[in-house]
Amino acid sequence: MSNVSSLAGLTYHVKTFGCQMNLHDSERVSGLLGSCGCLEVATPDEADIVVFMTCCVREKADTHLYGQVSAMVSAPEPPHGRRVVCIGGCIAQRDGSGIREHMRNVDVVFGTRAIASLPDLIVDALNGSKKNVFADTSEDDPGFSSDLPSRREDVWHAWVPIMTGCNNFCSYCIVPYVRGRERDRAFESIVDEVRTLHEDGVREVCLLGQNVNSFGRQRYGSPRFAELLRAVGETGIERIRFTSSHPKDLSDETIAAMAETPAVMPQLHLAVQSGSTRVLKAMNRHYTREDYLALADRIKQANPGIALSTDIIVGFPGETEEDFEQTLSLVREVGFSSAFTFIYSKRPGTPAAKIDDPTPREVIQERFDRLAALVADLAHEANQVELGHTVEALVEGPSKRDADILVGHSPKNKTVHFEIPEGYKAQDLVGKLVDVRVEEARTWYLRGPMVGDPR
Q: Which residues are annotated as a binding site for [4Fe-4S] cluster?
A: 19, 55, 90, 166, 170, 173
Burial 369-404 (b: 16+ CB within 10 A, else e): eebeebbeebbeebbeebeeeebbbbbbebeeeeee
- Strand extents, DSSP E, 69-215: 84-89, 108-110, 134-135, 157-161, 163-164, 183-184, 204-208
CA pair distance 282, 245, nearest whole angstrom: 20
Q: Find all residues with CB under 8 Å of 109, minimum gap 6, and list them.
A: 86, 87, 88, 92, 95, 96, 97, 99, 100, 133, 134, 135
Between helix 225-233 and helix 252-260 the angle, nearest 10°, is: 10
Of 148, 133, 110, 142, the closest CA to residue 30 belongs to 148
Strand order in the sheet with 157-161: 157-161, 204-208, 239-243
Q: Indicate the burial class of 354 (C-beta count within 10 angstroms; 0-12, 13-18, 19 or more).
A: exposed
CA pair distance 152, 133, nearest whole angstrom: 27
DSSP state of 26: H
CA pair distance 270, 250, nearest whole angstrom: 9
Binding residues: 19, 55, 90, 166, 170, 173
Amino acid at 236: G
CA pair distance 193, 146, nearest whole angstrom: 9
DSSP state of 127: T
* Rg of the chain taking only CA atoms, in angstroms: 23
Of 112, 115, 118, the closest CA to residue 132 belongs to 118
Other C-beta atoms closer than 10 Å to the C-beta of 317 total 19
For 345-410, give the DSSP string. ---TTSGGGG------HHHHHHHHHHHHHHHHHHHHHHHHTTTTSEEEEEEEEE-SS-TTEEEEE-
- 208, 24 contact by CB (below 8 A): yes
- SS3 category, 322: helix
CA pair distance 322, 326, nearest whole angstrom: 6
